[in-house]
Amino acid sequence: MRVRCAALAAAASAILLQPSAKAAAVLPDCSDVVQGKPVSSGPVTARDLVTLADLGPDAPDPGEGHIFSISPDGRWIALQVQKADPDANGFCQALVVLPADGSGPVRILDRGGELILSRSDMLGRAGVATGLVRTIEPVWSPDGRRLAYLKQTHGAIQVWVAEADGSRSRAATSGAVEVDRFAFDADGRTLVVALRPNLTAEREAIKREERSGFRFDARISPGAGAVPFPRPSNRHAYFTVGEDRRMIPATPGQIARLGSNEAIQSLLSQHGSRIALAPTSGSPLQPIVRLQVQDDKGRIWPCADIACTGPGLVAWWMPGGRHVRFLRREDPAKSVTAVYAWRPGARHARRLMATTALLTDCQPHGNELYCLEERSLDPRRLVHFDPSNQRKSVLFDPNASFAALRKSRVKRLFARNSFGIETFGDLVYPLGYRVGKTYPLIVVQYTSRGFLRGGTGDEFPIQAFAARDYFVLSLQRPDALALTSNARTSEEAETQLLNGFRDRRSVLSSVENLLRPLIVQGLVDPARIGITGLSDGSSTVQFAAVNSTLFAAGSASGCCWERSQDFLLSEGIADHFARSGWPRLLDKRKDFWKRISLAQNARDIRFPLLLQMADTEYLGALESFTALREAGHPVDLYVFRDEHHIKWQPAHKLAVYERNLAWFDFWLKDVAPPGGTERETWIRMKRDWQSKPRSAARTELPSSPINPHGTDAHPSRPLL
């Protein structure tokens, strides 16, 4: 699952989030956090997926630093491991260190602490949490003898320091302060810390306001409650902290150490030459850049090779400062990641290696490259590449025992949608697949790079579906910015994407065009196709419910787009939507809402819908839910307490997984849950719905060009 919950659906949901999350239980015994316990050779279950060990967040925020860090001498690598326990509804966490050459065992330097969720200031509110896990970067002291890192206990985030030899770990800061950023000072022992702005005064003002009533304004998000959010402040406080924990105001020079200069250093050679990634074309929001070098005399050396041009290039100097290496994504559909080498002044760049695996947080050291790697069937692990000879070694895999489980084969498919945008999807076969048999299929959205776990937001257990005899199509969302023309701001882009529901039509077209050949080939039963999604994926589920006849059941989280969003999502988000082209509540615009609203189309929705929502978001689904229920349409809604846009509590994650499995078994296979209220409720839903006349004739899907090979990449390209 990869989420920095993008697009319009995330913007809608973010406003409903509470400022913080309660910490789940901390487990006393974390003996298997580094190396999982042996497992059977059976099929993958929902529990197997929930209890995988994680190396960093699913969708890392580059602004929060690296997931792993290399010691100054290049001999050691440090990172944090997290492992969920749904029975205790808690997490085991460990800070570990291992030899960079893979020559020795992994050592645990520190255990424990509460899960730290990422928080940000948005739309006039301070400390908004989305349920995404924060990146915890261990920072080495200049001499490599100790590591500093963030750790949360009793709800407070502090800096801790662990000795690299494992002899001890301790809290370096204390009290009511909450550390946002930190760095070692030049002496390697003193820490420079940036404390989050103190919002105590504003919270006290809100408390006083309670006596006379809160004025309803942009500070209040109804879904999150009636209490106003504090306003954001960027007034950090800066201090130095020694081993005695005394906090002394930092000097300007010490504060400057908090500014990350790592990226600048990687672009500056020892001879004074600089790497530049100069925009050449593309939109302002997604520029196409060209690699070039400026030497110490100011001369520009552009790279003329087409490989040196593209979006999102990442470049660094090789030792000696004479050669540059860079990462780029390549076709088909940007599904391949390649490493190139280029000597300034040379006409061509040389491709050293390429892979369809997802590489995250790649860090060069000397001639080598360290990355976190995921493959369709392999969870994230730390790997070492020598691109010059295409050798790879796995340095740390906390889920090595996962390999013993029986997993389904995966085949990559490519297609162009009705807008001409190429995308791809991964087709996961039923575990017991038999040639000639037709199977039900479930669509999971909306990223398919890396490990196929549960889609964006991690709610739809792909391998567990396959073990239940489903095909699963994991969709890589088509590029939305390909539909915009020179939008200068995200708001302009949203306006263009909303016009005629271009973006929603683009995504739905990609799904249908990937499915069509599977139906034609007799692999998939067209009467038994389900669709799922969270956030932007939920928007696709909703749009499909109104505009497609292909699907027989759906499950969504983070739903729904309705007229009521104007007053449920607060004044600020309503204004944002209006500027992007959404109708105001007074506008009514039946023609607009007829294209997407579940409530306005409740009598004509074509498939049963399961909604599993955070308590901070479920109000946004009530207009849709109520209208569908009044229309006698099968719909079920579950609300999860103390959750956010992304559900983070292990017990909730397992419950969501298992209910999704049961929902599709019931509607696509006619297999009822074994007991409980779900069995009675769903059987009654189905009986009542089937007794009502409805029109749901299926239409022929539009044709589209499909890659006939269905391979993991272009056959002429050697891949690791």
Does residue 373 belong to any structural domain of this protein? no
What is the rounded average pLDDT of the residues 606-625? 95
Q: What per-residue confidence (pLDDT) applies to 12?
A: 36
CA 388 – CA 402 distance, rounded (Å): 30
Q: What per-residue confidence (pLDDT) applies to 438?
A: 98
CA 157 – CA 511 distance, rounded (Å): 42
Out of 66, 384, 645, 652, which one is annotated catalytic? 645
Instruction: Among 48-57, 260-269, 282-291, name the one with the lowest average pLDDT.
Output: 260-269
Q: CB–CB of 603/631 below 8 Å? A: yes
Out of 221, 376, 408, 535, which one is annotated catalytic? 535
Alpha-carbon separation of residue 15 from 63, 229, 418, 497 (angstroms)? 21, 10, 33, 21
CA Rg value for the chain: 26
What is the rounded average pLDDT of the residues 281-301? 85
Q: Is the pLDDT of residue 386 over 50?
A: yes
Q: Is the pLDDT of residue 476 over 50?
A: yes
Out of 617, 624, 643, 652, which one is annotated catalytic? 617
Confidence label for 693 from pLDDT (cuts 50, 70 and 90)? confident
Does residue 36 belong to any structural domain of this protein? yes
Confidence label for 284 from pLDDT (cuts 50, 70 and 90)? confident
- Within 10 Å of residue 590's Cβ, how many Cβ atoms? 11
Residues 6+ apart with CB under 8 A from 524: 438, 439, 440, 441, 471, 515, 518
Q: What per-residue confidence (pLDDT) applies to 3?
A: 36
**Residue 468 class from Cβ within 10 Å (0-12 exposed, 13-18 middle, 19+ buried)?**
buried
Strand boundaries in 178-254, DSSP class E:
179-184, 191-195, 237-241, 247-249
What is the rounded average pLDDT of the residues 418-431? 97
pTM of the model: 0.91
CA 138 – CA 433 distance, rounded (Å): 45
Q: What per-residue confidence (pLDDT) applies to 487?
A: 84
Token reading at 380:
């994230």
Alpha-carbon separation of residue 335 from 89, 92, 354, 458, 490 (angstroms)? 36, 33, 10, 21, 25
Q: What per-residue confidence (pLDDT) applies to 26?
A: 52
- Within 10 Å of residue 68's Cβ, how many Cβ atoms? 23
Count: domains in the chain: 2
**Residue 163 class from Cβ within 10 Å (0-12 exposed, 13-18 middle, 19+ buried)?**
middle
CA 528 – CA 525 distance, rounded (Å): 5
Q: CB–CB of 102/122 below 8 Å? A: no
Does residue 335 belong to any structural domain of this protein? no
Q: CB–CB of 506/515 below 8 Å? A: no
What is the rounded average pLDDT of the residues 693-717? 37
Confidence label for 43 from pLDDT (cuts 50, 70 and 90)? very high
Amino acid at 431: L
Q: Which domain holds residue 540?
A: 408-690
CA 695 – CA 542 distance, rounded (Å): 18
**Mean pLDDT, the chain, whole residue set:** 87
Task: Please choose, from the candidates 383, 351, 387, the residue with its C-alpha nearest in 3D space to the C-alpha of residue 367.
Answer: 387
Q: What per-residue confidence (pLDDT) applies to 183?
A: 94
Q: Is the pLDDT of residue 712 over 60?
A: no
Q: Is the pLDDT of residue 694 over 80?
A: no
Does residue 168 belong to any structural domain of this protein? yes
Q: What per-residue confidence (pLDDT) applies to 707?
A: 34
Q: What per-residue confidence (pLDDT) applies to 416?
A: 96
Task: Please choose, from the candidates 523, 555, 331, 358, the residue with its C-alpha nearest in 3D space to the C-alpha of residue 448.
Answer: 358
Q: What per-residue confidence (pLDDT) applies to 14?
A: 36
Instruction: Among 49-53, 93-97, 206-210, 591-595, name the one with the lowest average pLDDT.
Output: 206-210
Q: Is the pLDDT of residue 55 over 70?
A: yes
Confidence label for 700 from pLDDT (cuts 50, 70 and 90)? very low
CA 419 – CA 610 distance, rounded (Å): 30
- Describe the chain by its helix, strand, coil percentages, rounded to 5: 25, 30, 45
CA–CA–CA angle 551, 552, 553 (5° rounding): 100
Counting residues of the chain whose pLDDT is more than 90, the rounded percentage is 66
Q: What per-residue confidence (pLDDT) applies to 228?
A: 86
Residue pLDDT, tens place only, 226-267: 888 888 777 788 999 998 889 999 999 999 998 754 555 567
Does residue 288 belong to any structural domain of this protein? no
Does residue 317 belong to any structural domain of this protein? no
Instruction: Among 91-105, 247-261, 270-284, 373-387, name the one with the lowest average pLDDT.
Output: 270-284
Instruction: Among 62-71, 168-177, 274-283, 653-662, name the one with the lowest average pLDDT.
Output: 274-283
617 is catalytic: yes
What is the rounded average pLDDT of the residues 614-640? 96
Does residue 634 belong to any structural domain of this protein? yes
Residues 6+ apart with CB under 8 A from 506: 417, 418, 419, 421, 478, 480, 483
535 is catalytic: yes
Counting residues of the chain whose pLDDT is more than 70, the rounded percentage is 89
CATH number, residue 127: 2.120.10
DSSP character for 318?
A: P
Q: Is the pLDDT of residue 94 over 50?
A: yes
Instruction: Among 581-590, 663-672, 703-712, name the one with the lowest average pLDDT.
Output: 703-712
Residues 6+ apart with CB under 8 A from 608: 553, 554, 633, 634, 635, 667, 685, 686, 689
Q: What per-residue confidence (pLDDT) applies to 20?
A: 40
Does residue 295 belong to any structural domain of this protein? no
What is the rounded average pLDDT of the residues 342-362? 95
CA 60 – CA 372 distance, rounded (Å): 11
Q: Is the pLDDT of residue 556 over 80?
A: yes
Task: Please choose, from the candidates 334, 288, 292, 325, the residue with its C-alpha nearest in 3D space to the C-alpha of residue 310.
Answer: 288
Q: What per-residue confidence (pLDDT) applies to 503?
A: 97
CATH number, residue 644: 3.40.50.1820
CA 137 – CA 67 distance, rounded (Å): 5
Please say which residue of 242, 263, 284 terminates a domain.
263
Give bridge partners of residue 317 from the DSSP assignment.
324
Alpha-carbon separation of residue 98 from 109, 165, 328, 332, 410 (angstroms)? 10, 11, 29, 36, 32
Q: Is the pLDDT of residue 1 over 60?
A: no
Residue pLDDT, tens place only, 106-135: 999 999 999 999 887 776 777 777 899 999
- If you write DSSP's letter for every residue of 463-487 in order, what string do you get? HHHHHTT-EEEEE-PPPGGGG-SS-
Residue pLDDT, tens place only, 3-37: 333 333 333 333 333 334 454 555 545 667 777 66
Confidence label for 221 from pLDDT (cuts 50, 70 and 90)? confident
CA 347 – CA 502 distance, rounded (Å): 40
Residues in the chain: 720
